[in-house]
Amino acid sequence: MSAAHDIAVRTQGVDISFGSGETKVTALQQTEFTARRGELIMLVGPSGCGKTTLLSVIAGTLTPQAGTVEVFGQRLDKMNQEQLTAFRRKHLGFVFQSFNLIPTLSVVENVMVPLLIQGVGHAEARRRSLIILEKVGLKGREDGKPNALSGGQQQRVAIARALVHEPPLLICDEPTSALDKDTGAQIMEMVRELSRSPDRCVVVVTHDFRIFRFADRIAEMEDGRISRVVDDPSTIESQHHG
């Protein structure tokens, strides 16, 4: 067990279901999940087991029907919408499974959004966004529109946007799904570096066993619950390599 002061994220007894009656789907069932300060934890499990739903709960975009959600000592389940919005702006970076780039903005403008929302000036926001775009290998593509980019390039824009304001809680849903092995490893190096502070935490959902080695721990999910937590991820990767 982690001591309370080591904990970055904790859900207890969280229930989420969608719909009602015959069409009711239970996505999370009394879900207990803990992420520590300064760690990069991965969440793995079969399609439909509730991974994205759990990410939405700890990001404060879905409110559970039961249970508690604590992020850096703050109870999200007790916040109203206004408080949740303020919380997300200050604390959260989110790389969506579907990228969610804004098509009418240029690449660099997409990355600037979280900084502008935080009140950073336009010139400074652009300067910082160009630096991170170069880090993710997109120098020269800044002023084009996202839909002119390949899937992997769009994914890197989404990652740059989530990282640019160095959020305390970074949540990534399949961040390397469209990336080759080397690009995926470079991105994960950046993401891991961000996690290395007691004021930070990174949660990554992935099916990509090639990046398991970047995890401090791996939580396995099954039917809406965490079924097992692996403390030594290298053992999982070696199983996949045979």
Ligand X SMILES: Nc1ncnc2c1ncn2[C@@H]1O[C@H](COP(=O)(O)OP(=O)(O)OP(=O)(O)O)[C@@H](O)[C@H]1O
Binding mask 88-127 for ligand X (x = CB under 6 A): ---------x------------------------------
Chain residue whose CB lies nearest Mg ion: 52
Alpha-carbon span 69 to 87, nearest angstrom: 13
Alpha-carbon span 238 to 49, nearest angstrom: 24
Residue 184's binding partner among ligand X, Mg ion, none (Cβ under 5 to 8 angstroms by kind) is none
Alpha-carbon span 93 to 28, nearest angstrom: 22
Among 9, 42, 49, 95, binds ligand X (CB under 6 A): 49
Distance in angstroms between the alpha carbons of the first and the last residue of the chain: 31
Minimum distance from residue 159 beta carbon to ligand X (Å): 18
User: CA torsion angle for 28, 30, 36, 42 (degrees, to 10)?
Assistant: -30
Among 20, 47, 147, 150, binds ligand X (CB under 6 A): 47
Q: Which two tokens stand for residue 176?
A: 């390397």
Minimum distance from residue 161 beta carbon to ligand X (Å): 20
The CA angle 27-30-36, to the nearest 5 degrees, is 100
Q: Does 187 bind ligand X (CB under 6 A)?
A: no
Q: Which of 48-56, 85-93, 128-136, 138-146 is the region at the interface with Mg ion (rule: CB under 5 A)?
A: 48-56
| Helix (H) or strand (E) run with residue 194 in it | helix 181-195
Alpha-carbon span 183 to 178, nearest angstrom: 10
Q: Does 52 bind Mg ion (CB under 5 A)?
A: yes
Minimum distance from residue 224 beta carbon to ligand X (Å): 7
Q: Which two tokens stand for residue 107?
A: 């690449």
Phi and psi at 28, nearest 5°, equal -130, 140
Q: Does 30 bind ligand X (CB under 6 A)?
A: no
Residue 154's binding partner among Mg ion, ligand X, none (Cβ under 5 to 8 angstroms by kind) is none
Minimum distance from residue 11 beta carbon to ligand X (Å): 14
Binding site for ligand X (CB under 6 A): 18-19, 25, 27, 47-53, 97
